[in-house]
Structure 1
Amino acid sequence: MSLSEQYEAKVRPYIDLIDSLRVFGVEKDIALPAIAVIGDQSSGKSSVLEALSGVALPRGSGIVTRCPLELKMKKSRQRDFWHGKIKYKDIVIDITDPADVERLIRNAQNEIAGALGMSDELINLEVTSTNAPDLTFIDLPGIVRVPVKGQPEDIGEQIKSLIKKFITKQDTIILVVVPCNVDITTTEALKMVHKIDLTGERTLGILTKPDLVDKGTEDEVVSVINNDIIFLAKGYMIVRCQEQQEILDRTPLYEAIEMEKIFFIEHPHFRMPYKEGKATIPKLVEKLTLELVLHIEKSLPQLKEQIQVMLAETQTELDRYNSGPPTDPEQWMDFLTDKITAFTQDAINLTIGEETKSVPHVNIFSTLRTQFNDWKTDLDISEMTFNKGIEKEVKEYEEKYRGRELPGFINYKTFEMFLKDQIKQLEKPAISRMKEISVLIRKEFIQLAQSNFMDFPNLLKMTKIKIENIKQLMESEAESMLKTQFKMELMIYTQDNVYTNTLNMHREEEDERQSHGVALPRCNRLYNHSDTEATLEELTHHLKSYYSIASNRLADQVPLVIKYMVLQESAVQLQREMLQLMKNYNINDLLEEDYEINIKRNNLKSRQKRLMEALDKLVLL
């Protein structure tokens, strides 16, 4: 099997897998294996990437790379083929001439970061070429120590912070570029890598500019290549990139590769690293490709797990968006009928305490029970207030208004007046509570509508209008019923035996309190020892007893009115009007789907498909 065939069989599937995930944008959610390129300013980073990609990148003095550049290279099977594409922000530009790449990158950086600024916003450059390797690099700004005029004083720290953002990811291979003509122990890039990749397992060193090495220092460079100075688990490679004049002369790639090869073969010190496969751009490509494949293989179990988690999350999100309307118009009526039936059934279930399908675990009765308990508490407080104040009020009324009746006779008008005044005070709180509960019920109905019709804004809008109209109608009818109920309560009536039993119960309770010394003796409770006092005491007993009966009656009757009119009848009326909706409105308008939801659903389906394909590839690998 040829080297090319071995590559296609063993290497290409791994590269394709990561590239397909990167195209999809999975790297936003999943850390994908990548190669990040770092180095001190003017270390030769751009020259290395140019040699690998075959395109000219921005060069010059000062900080040239001011935004991270994702350089994705794809090998084309077509002869003499080249095509590029640059993407940043919402801009996508196709490139047909490699000579345009440098200018377009500079324009992108200026637009993103200004003339001198820095940004962590990514610029994507995709190059498909006959001569390109299947590799993806992230080119990061060169580390500087002294800012140039117009740049912030902390520009060096900004750059380091940006670099750390990329190289701290455990799935990233670090390509650290160091020129041969400097003391490698003083380079900021290697110092930084040593702090982050403590064991050096993720780092590959690239030595550049071997033609600029001072005579007599070649052995030191060889020691670095042999991993004797600063140890890196992946070791070091040495390359000689094209000189500026060669680039300006547009020296063909095959010639540049041959010239590099001759340089190392003829060099007395560097010919050995060449023989050991540690020199030249082609050997670097082989090394990087194999390192990336090994790195991907190591990451596969975790990657598979992450994709499975993301698939589950995608399915859960998809479930929220339903399936959308059928494409066949003849099926629209059945689809709409099913949607409306499901919604109205949810509304009915809400009123009888059954589980709703669209909004699980909704129970309006727990809220109603609290509201009705609060209403009963209001009545109990009212009764206690009434009982505490009635003796004083009866005494004052007796002094001012008692008529011609003899002692021992109870004035019925007095009895009626006290009760009516107190009962009237309960009407307004009852109506207020009914309206408060009506708002809560409307909120629950709208929640059901939003869950059932979230994809269809016109249908949802019409449903909300109907819910609001029904709320107003049922509130009005419930208020009318409550007012009628209070008018009836002002008639002062109850069954004789009910009244007698309640009166006797109150008397027994009073006697019980007296026997325990809680109450004063009857003869001393009001004024002196007169028959008038006995009459007033008897009147007080009657008032308290009847008010207790009326209070208990209202404790049930008001909630019954609210449950019947505001809850039950609202749901029934909503069901009627929703069925009428299908007859009175254009079905096409009602089923017009929300554009953003449609796009979101399609994107989720696309994501799901791609993740499943990626998972299938992982299983095969």
Structure 2
Amino acid sequence: METLIPTINRLQEVFLTVGAEIIQLPQIVVVGSQSSGKSSVLESLVGRDFLPRGSGIVTRRPLVLQLINIAPLQERVKTENGNGIKQNSPNSYPGVTAEEWGTFLHCKNQIFTDFQQIRREIETETERSSGENKGISPEPIYLKIFSPKVLNLTLVDLPGITKVPVGDQPEDIEAQVQEMILSFISNPNSLILAVSPANSDLATSDALKLAREVDPDGRRTLLVVSKLDLMDAGTDALEVLLGRVIPVRLGIIGVVNRSQHDINTQKSLEDCTRDEHAFLQRHYPSLASRAGSRYLAKTLSRLLMHHIRDCLPELKTRVTVLSSQYQARLNSYGQPVEDHSATLLQIVTKFASDYCNTIEGTARYIQTSELCGGARICYIFHETFGRTLQSIDPLGGLTELDILTAIRNATGPRPALFVPEVSFELLAKRQIKRLEEPSLRCVELVHEELQRIIQHCSSFSTQAEALDGGKRWKNDKVAEEKAPPAGFGSPSKGQAINLLDTAVPVSRKLSSREQRDCEVIQRLINCYFLIVRKSIQDSVPKTVMHFLVNFVKEHLQSELVGQLYKQTLLQDLLIESQDTAQQRTEVAQMLEALKKANNIISEIRETHLW
């Protein structure tokens, strides 16, 4: 059990540089109003004067105070002389000849044996962060005190609750202080040490009011009633100390603070402790054994050890879960680019492979919500394009009058014995031209799908060239099909003139021969249109696959390498954003801290918890 508090202290140090807010460590948070006696209570626990004093807000930054019990100097000297105790044991401090001393996190490797110097360092470090205008700062100061007179204990001293701004303090200083206090005591793993003077009404205690906001049942609140000796004559705090006025689960302990006269005359804390014990024996004999600074120190140490023991399983689980999460985040950032050439080649190769796999349907992750890649291209060919062609009427938009006019214009001044081939050719071209737009749209839809796959690479010339090739073939194919094959009356060169521009005669009833000629042309156009439509429906998908899809698959990687694999571009293409680099560093640091924390927690054996 005794090793639990030092273990938490080590965990605090591990998380200092990476932000301990993600790990809510067990700790004791000291809360009280200005002049409530907080400083005197803390100094009595240490047995030394070391905290700044004065008017107004003196504590303007959180002070994380770690008390570490060590062996007396004489025993430590024996340790260093090799009397069976390891050098790295808690009782071994090579090179330190003082009985007790302090160290600050911001002053690494500097030992303070003069506690007045510790006080000045706290004041200096406070002004460095908070300024000289009595403002506050949430940045903690970390102080360790090594002494044979203290019990293992970790406390967080916070600024005193204030009501009125002093000097250059901001008008909302009260709200700032309360917000800072709440940020610490809201931690469900923190114990709240509420300090309230006995000569004030506890029902209006600011410390208890804030404690109740986050701990309404008082399960993690310990009340310290300070300044018992300053109560009016004829009154006492017995009812309060017995818990009959303010119920607090962890208990209520009364203490006697040093007076200002004691401070001015530099009365030792040992003498003050003896006087406190004598006062309690005289005025509270039934509670003397459960009151006073020494009892408070023992109670706090015991409470903190048991609290750490209760929090340890959840803390270990939290560290394990966070380790897994931060490892996943670190993996997602990848490794920093060192060899630009090799990295770019790997990226291009993987991209080209993933792109082709998406078309082939062999991608690692297959979507289930919508068609994509090759499946969508197949749908365009057989559903979208096929249905559109089938919906086109071979004779749509072609009237009998149009046919008769074409026949007459192709006949000239003399009546023809047979239907002129030129009229059939002109009308067939006109109808077949209607297949051009769906064919173009098919090419465009496939191209859009290829762009959707490639997304940010849609501007590469590979696709642009392939699209142009597909469109050129399609135009040539449709133009070729406009000319009727042998047997349908192919015109000689120079005969393909637009005879439909001739004025149309006034509508009238067709003769039997004219009706028969129109029907012949209609049957020929219908048969020829169906043949051409079937040819287009079969050949367009094949050609799009050859000139567009397969072309992109075969040339994508080489095109990317040719366009990007240039020495002048490598540095710019693979430069990493400063934010990403910083996030990777922060995540790596946090992961390292979590691993250290996990090792520290793992050192605690179950047998040590009871």
TM-score by length of 1: 0.70
CA distance in 2: counterparts of 1:339 and 1:477, whole angstroms: 23
Q: Is the 8 A contact 1:180 1:209 kept in 2?
A: yes
1:425-574 pair list within 5 angstroms: 425-426=437-438, 428-443=440-455, 471-492=460-481, 530-533=512-515, 535-536=517-518, 539-540=521-522, 542-543=524-525, 546-547=528-529, 550-551=532-533, 553-555=535-537, 557-574=539-556
Contact 1:40–1:143 (8 Å) recurs in 2:
yes
Q: Which moved more, 1:586-595 or 1:102-111?
A: 586-595
Aligned to 1:617: 603
Given residue 262 of structure 1, which amino acid in structure 2 is its aligned partner?
D
Question: Which of 258, 268, 278 is matched with 2:271 structurally?
Answer: 258
CA contact (8 A) 2:435 2:478 kept: yes
- Do 2:462 and 2:555's aligned partners in 1 also have CA atoms closer than 8 Å? no
Q: Please, which runs of 5 or more residues in structure 1 have no aligned partner?
A: 1-5, 447-466, 500-525
For residues 255 and 276 of structure 2, the distance between their equivalents in structure 1, rounded to whole angstroms, comes to: 10
Tell me the distance in 2 between the aligned counterparts of 1:261 and 1:395: 127
Match of 2:315 among 299, 303, 320: 303
| Number of the residue aligned with 1:55 | 50
Equivalent residues of 1:146, 1:156 under 8 A apart: yes
Deviation at 1:202, TM superposition (A): 0.5
Aligned in 2, Cα 1:347/1:373: closer, same or farther, shift over 3 Å?
A: closer
- The equivalent of 1:81 in structure 2 is 101
CA distance in 1, matches of 2:296, 2:29: 15
1:73 alignment partner, SS class: strand
- Please name the residue that 2:85 is paired with: none
Contact 2:28 2:191 in 1 (8 A): yes
**Change in CA separation of 1:539 and 1:273 when aligned onto 2, cut-off 3 Å:** farther
Quote the offset at 1:183 in angstroms.
2.0
List aligned pairs for 1:402-421, cutoff 5 A.
Answer: 402-404=409-411, 411-421=423-433
* Cα displacement string for residues 91-143 of structure 1 (whole angstroms, at most 9, x for unaligned residues): x99896421312432442349xxx5777xx62111112324765443444444
1:209 positional shift: 2.2
The answer to whether the 8 A contact 1:264-1:274 is kept is no
Letter in 2 for 1:295: H
More helix per residue: 1 or 2?
1
Would the aligned equivalents of 1:423 and 1:486 in 2 still touch at CA under 8 Å? no
Aligned to 1:206: 224
1:294 aligns with 2:306: yes
Q: Percent identity?
A: 20
The answer as to whether partners of 1:34 and 1:136 remain within 8 angstroms in 2 is yes
Per-residue CA deviation, residues 324-361 of structure 1 (Å, 9 max, x unaligned), is 689xx9xx9999987776555444433422134xxx44
Amino acid at match of 1:481: G
CA-CA distance at 1:561 after TM superposition: 4.5
Q: Does the 8 Å CA contact 1:50/1:56 hold for their aligned counterparts? A: yes
SS in 2 for 1:122: coil
DSSP-derived class of the 2:397 partner: helix
1:189 paired to 2:207: yes
Does 2:560 match 1:599?
no
- Indicate the structure whose relative CO is greater, using CA pairs within 8 Å and at least 6 residues apart: 2
CA contact (8 A) 2:358 2:373 kept: no
Alpha-carbon distance between aligned partners in 1 of 2:273 and 2:462, rounded to the nearest angstrom: 89
- Displacement of 1:176 in angstroms is 0.7
Cα distance, 1:222 vs structure 2: 3.0
Structure 2 residue 361 is the aligned partner of structure 1 residue 349: no
Structure 2 counterparts to residues 571-582 of structure 1, below 5 A: 571-576=553-558
Please give the secondary structure, in 1, of the residue aligned with 2:358: helix
**Aligned residue identity for 1:129:** I
Question: What are the equivalent positions in structure 2 for 1:231-380 lying under 5 Å apart?
Answer: 231-244=247-260, 251=266, 255-270=268-283, 272=285, 275-280=288-293, 282-322=294-334, 344-356=352-364, 360-361=365-366, 366-370=372-376, 373=379, 376-377=383-384, 380=387
Aligned counterpart in structure 2 of residue 176 of structure 1, from 194, 203, 206: 194
* Corresponding residue SS for 1:390: coil
Note closer, same or farther for the CA distance 1:538–1:234 as it changes in structure 2 (3 Å cut): farther
| Equivalence for 1:101 | 122
Structure 2 CA distance for aligned equivalents of residues 560 and 618 of structure 1: 71
Shift of 1:487: 0.6
> 2:29·2:156 contact (CA, 8 Å) conserved in 1?
yes
Task: Give the Cα–Cα distance (whole angstroms) in 2 for the partners of residues 601 and 486 of structure 1.
Answer: 57
**Residue 65 and residue 543 in structure 1: after superposition, are their counterparts in 2 closer, same or farther (change >3 A)?**
farther
**Shift in Å, 1:529:** 7.3
Q: Is the alpha carbon distance of 1:319 and 1:152 closer, same or farther for their aligned partners in structure 2, counting shifts above 3 Å?
A: closer
Residue identity matched to 2:140: N
Q: Conserved in 2, the CA contact under 8 Å of 1:72 and 1:127?
A: yes
What's the TM-score, normalizing by structure 2?
0.72
Question: Which one is further off, 555-564 or 177-186?
Answer: 555-564
Matching residue within 1, 26, 29 for 1:36: 29
Q: Which residue of 2 aligns with 1:225?
A: 241
Give the match's secondary structure for 2:28.
strand
- Please say if residues 280 and 287 of structure 2, whose CA atoms lie closer than 8 Å, have aligned partners that are also in contact: no
Cα separation, 2, equivalents of 1:378 and 1:104: 77
- Whether contact under 8 Å (2:440, 2:474) holds in the other structure is no
Displacement, 1:279? 0.8
Residue aligning to 1:126? 142
- Deviation, structure 1 residue 476: 0.9
Work out whether residues 21 and 614 of structure 1, in 8 Å CA contact, stay in contact via their aligned partners in 2: no
Q: Distance in 2 between matches of 1:558 and 1:141?
A: 80
- After TM superposition, give the deviation of residue 538 of structure 1 in Å: 5.2
Q: What RMSD in Å do the two structures reach over aligned CA positions?
A: 4.7
Counterparts of 1:153 and 1:588, CA distance in 2 = 55
Query: Is contact 1:478–1:561 with CA below 8 Å preserved after alignment?
Result: no
Deviation string, structure 1 residues 545-597 (Cα, Å, up to 9, x no partner): 55555555555654545544554443433444678899976999799885547
Aligned residue type for 1:572: E
